[in-house]
Amino acid sequence: MKRTPARLADGREIIYFDLADDATRRLDDPRELPQVSTASQMRYDPLLGEWVAMASHRQTRTFLPPADLCPLCPSRDGKQTEVPSPDYDVVVFENRFPSLSMAAADTPPGSELVPVRAGTGRCEVVCFSSRHDASFATLSQAQARLVVDAWADRTSELSALPGVEQVFCFENRGEEIGVTLSHPHGQIYAYPYVTPRSARMLENARRYQDTSGGHLFADILAEERAGERVIVASQHWTAFVPAAARWPVEVHLYPNRQVPDIPALTGEERDDFVAVYLDVLRRFDALYDAPLPYIAAWHQAPVHAGRELGYLHMQLFSIRRAADKLKYLAGSESAMGAFITDVLPEDVADRLRRAEVRS
């Protein structure tokens, strides 16, 4: 892998990741760009004990442009985009409309009940391919492995930034999910705190360890591997529908060896993940013979607190509950956080196993 860093016209960092060691990329950005907003702030919700990011400048971000004006495509034919080079394999750059910024301006401290602080952190965009019509499921194994290596690189780099407590790599796919750019891409958030879901999982893992002496994630994996909800099992990875799945289609992918984050995966484990993940994604698309909207979320251990309890895994889920129906978070889910699912996980697992995958 060749790694080539540069700067965009407004000072944001951009990094090219290439399969070929002799790849050359255009590094200068000829555009004239306004300064990136640093007005993000965070406010503490005392009722839930959670931080909420406020980023009002994101209201003006690019929304579903036509393909010929896509800002994630390479710069070609006189059209300058976020990627100055006329081609690339995988590219990562700082988001032009970040929810969090390492340069976030100081803000009034709020009150004792509702503290307010600068929205420090970092938000990056990861373009999986220069092809606008591609998707992660259509990537070659080599290209997908390059994405994994880029995730690992960025996790290590972002974890070393001052104040960063958790790094989150994810992909939103499909307009039904709320995607505003159709080019195949994902994002990475470097948070200045441990996110609520991660904090709750780690709290449960610690309680489980104290009462049983076991490791919660490892014991869940062992039980699932012995059951009927496994979709794909390989030497290094297991993909299964969790017993208490909340979403109409939900699969978790676990390495068979406990590791805290993506950088800790060996080369063999990364290769094996790619094979299993591409298989699962293609099964997703085969369910209704059409691209399935999904969120792919990497759960990595926090940078500092509770790291020994973490267990790297991916949560992959879709809001599509039938070919022509979506799962909406209505009263019980949105207001109470109490999920009600319309399908049994065992049935979903069986359908995914039987899905006819096209290579």
Any idea which residues carry the catalytic annotation?
185
Comparing 143-147, 178-182, 247-251, 269-273, the range with the smallest average pLDDT is 178-182
Residue length of the chain: 359
CATH superfamily membership of 197-354: HIT-like (3.30.428.10)
Which pLDDT does position 359 carry in this prediction? 60
Q: What is the DSSP string of 304-318?
A: STTGGG---EEEEEE
Which pLDDT does position 289 carry in this prediction? 85
Put simply, whether the predicted model's pTM sits higher than 0.85 gets the answer yes
Instruction: In whole angstroms, give the CA distance from residue 357 to residue 62.
Output: 34
Instruction: In whole angstroms, give the CA distance from residue 97 to residue 52.
Output: 17
Q: Mean pLDDT, the chain, as a whole number?
A: 96
b/e map of 119-137 (b: 16 or more CB within 10 Å)? Answer: bbbbbbbbbbbbeeeebbb
pLDDT tens per residue across span 81-122? 999 999 999 999 999 999 999 999 999 999 999 999 999 999
Domains 2-193 and 197-354 share a fold: yes
pLDDT tens per residue across span 274-305? 999 999 999 999 999 889 999 999 999 999 98
Return the CATH class of domain 2-193.
alpha beta
Predicted confidence (pLDDT) at residue 38 exceeds the cutoff of 90: no
The domain locations on the chain are 2-193, 197-354
From 192, 166, 161, select the one nearest 41 (Cα to Cα).
Answer: 192
pLDDT tens per residue across span 334-357? 999 999 999 999 999 999 999 987
Q: Determine the average pLDDT of the residues in 205-209.
A: 98
Which pLDDT does position 59 carry in this prediction? 81
Binding-site residues for Zn(2+), in ranges, read 70, 73, 132, 183
